[in-house]
Chain A
Amino acid sequence: MTAYFVDPSVGNDADDGLDNTGLTLATTTWTASSLTLTQAGAFAAYTYAAGDMIAITGGTGATTGLYQIASKIDANSITLVATTTVPGAQNGATLSGSDLATGDIASSSGPFLTIEQGDTILSAYDTLWMKASATYAYAGTFMVNWGTADNVLEGYTTTPGDGGRVLFDGTVNANTYGFYSLSRSTLVNVIINGTAYGYYPAVAGGCLRNCVVKGFSATGWQGTSDKCIVEDCEFSTSSGAGIRSGWGSVVRRNYFHDLGTGSVASSYRTTFVDNIFDTCTIGIDRVTQEQVCIVGCTFYNCSTAGIQGSNSQFLIEDNIFANCGYGLDNDGTSDYVTQGANSIRGNHWFSNTTDIGSSSTGSWLTPYGENPSTTPGNTSGDPLFTDAPNGDFSLGAGSPAAGIAFEFVSTEVSSGSTTYQDRGAVQQESGGGGLHVNMPLTGGMT
């Protein structure tokens, strides 16, 4: 599980990629008491910047690995951070005076220039840290065609782990695919702009986390394969579909807005939790497969429908449907009371043209022949979003959707009183729910 680095500004594919400074030490002294590395003249041309790392790659008794640099003392010396929080880095204070011997110490030659070189060098379970020092743009049908299995590719701005996003701009070379992955891989802290497909995982198990995918022609995440996770991401600015979910995928805490379709639930057993679908033609479309779970989502201003589809064994609970055409539209011809096992209950409805209905000849009646929007447990009225036009779907004070969800936060044993979560994707800081979902609405290079 080695950490590697890419820097599109100063990297070199001839480097070993093991840190982001490339100091290439050779005859260094380690002083444990002051956490100082000393080598005559080694740092004369080195300009310290926060987030600089050094990988000690050899030395008699050396604890090789990645360390964070705390400061540059002078042309001959640098200090290491005593206790670092950088993922994968070791603490300088854990080195003892005898760990590094003078005269035989070696360190990294610096970061790679390209992602492709990372794919060549990395092994399974390694991490590739991608610095936001410039826009990433590569020619070809695939902007990135990643083949190594089980890697994490994560962006950062200054210090690895700082959550900064890097921009992969498909408009520079008119790429068809942004990230294409032939293996299980996780992409974190990336903006993918202007391709036909943003991320196209070709095998099961891909993951997209804290990313922004926008300006795509067809689909932001083309999850044709199974068991993927898409979380804390934003999909926008397209007439296409934000994601196409594969079998058994989990889609949670994402923000879908200004889209033709938020998500095409093209396969069964997909779970949607705590997502916002804002100004989509359809929030979740083609729910034509069984066992789709949609819980705690907010559907707002979805002109055709919040959810459109037809099948059985759905779980649709604790969602808010507001200002939509249909909240829930059965666009098929079957009455799913006869298919059975749907659980559509406890949702919040406000200002939809039709809360639950059918644009065809089907219906969503309960096994008792009732309309699921009017059975006990539903709520209605203005949910009092804090600032919906600007994407803030937190619930204001007095919201009728607050503190009333089926899901509960806790039960006080002594009194027996139970605190329930809020309906919709964003929990109030206080009041009914007490939980809060951090939506990824800020950050990045653009």
Chain B
Amino acid sequence: MSTLYDPAVRDYGYQRIDNYPIVVPNGTTVRETNFSQEAPGTEGIIEGDDLTFEFCNMTNLVIDPAWTLVSTNTLQIRTDGDDVYRVYPDGHEELISGVPS
């Protein structure tokens, strides 16, 4: 199962899409579109070659080094109830939902 990318759709986040990957035509530039996933380090969300993403949200996606990213969010976040943790590449986590000290 997969979902064909439609430029008119701006939200391919986990709360809205059941069937991944999103198949994006080769050579496409995708703008201002949400692909966020619930769990950090999620793979297999986007399929396509020679892709460019501008002002997109790729929170918690594993980024394909072949993609060209412009002003695109690639942070890794873990949510536990109302607590939100930022997950860094070395695996350590930082609670970010409370008022920082």
Q: Which residues of A contact B (CB under 8 A)?
A: 141-142, 169-172, 174, 176-177, 180, 193-197, 202, 214-218, 222, 224, 236-240, 257-260, 279, 281, 303, 389, 446
Contacts and interface: CB of A to CB of B under 8 A. Distances in A.
Contact of B32 (A171, A176, A236, A281): A236
Interface stretch (B21-29, B44-52, B93-101): B93-101
A239 B36 contact: yes
B13 A194 contact: no
A224 B72 contact: no
B59 A217 contact: yes
B13 A260 contact: yes
A202 B84 CA distance: 16
Nearest to B36: A239
A218 B77 contact: yes
A214 B69 CA distance: 16
Interface of B: 8, 10-11, 13-16, 32-34, 36-38, 55-57, 59-60, 69, 71-75, 77, 79, 84, 86, 94, 96-97, 99-100
Nearest to B13: A239
B27 to A, nearest CB: 22
Interface of B is mostly: loop
Q: In the complex, which of the residues A180, A259, A303 has the most CB atoms of chain B within 10 Å of its own CB atom? A: A259
Given A171-B71, A194-B55, A238-B59, 7 more contacts: A176-B86, A193-B55, A218-B97, A238-B57, A258-B11, A259-B11, A281-B15
A237 B96 contact: no
21 contacts: A171-B69, A176-B86, A193-B55, A196-B77, A197-B96, A202-B100, A215-B32, A215-B73, A216-B73, A217-B57, A218-B96, A218-B97, A224-B99, A236-B32, A237-B11, A237-B55, A239-B37, A239-B38, A240-B36, A279-B10, A303-B15
B73 A218 contact: no
Contact of A171 (B13, B36, B60, B74): B74
A215 B55 CA distance: 7
A259 B94 CA distance: 24
A279 B100 CA distance: 32
Contacts of A215: 32, 34, 55-57, 71-73
B75 A281 contact: no
Contact of A217 (B11, B16, B36, B69): B36
A202 B99 CA distance: 6
B55 A389 contact: no
6 closest A-B pairs (Cβ-Cβ)?
A239-B13, A194-B73, A239-B36, A258-B11, A217-B59, A215-B57
Given A196-B86, A281-B15, A303-B16, A170 B73 contact: yes
Contact of B84 (A170, A218, A260): A218
B57 A180 contact: no
Contacts of B10: 236-237, 257-258, 279
A202 B101 CA distance: 10
Contacts of A202: 99-100
Contact of B14 (A142, A195, A222, A239): A239
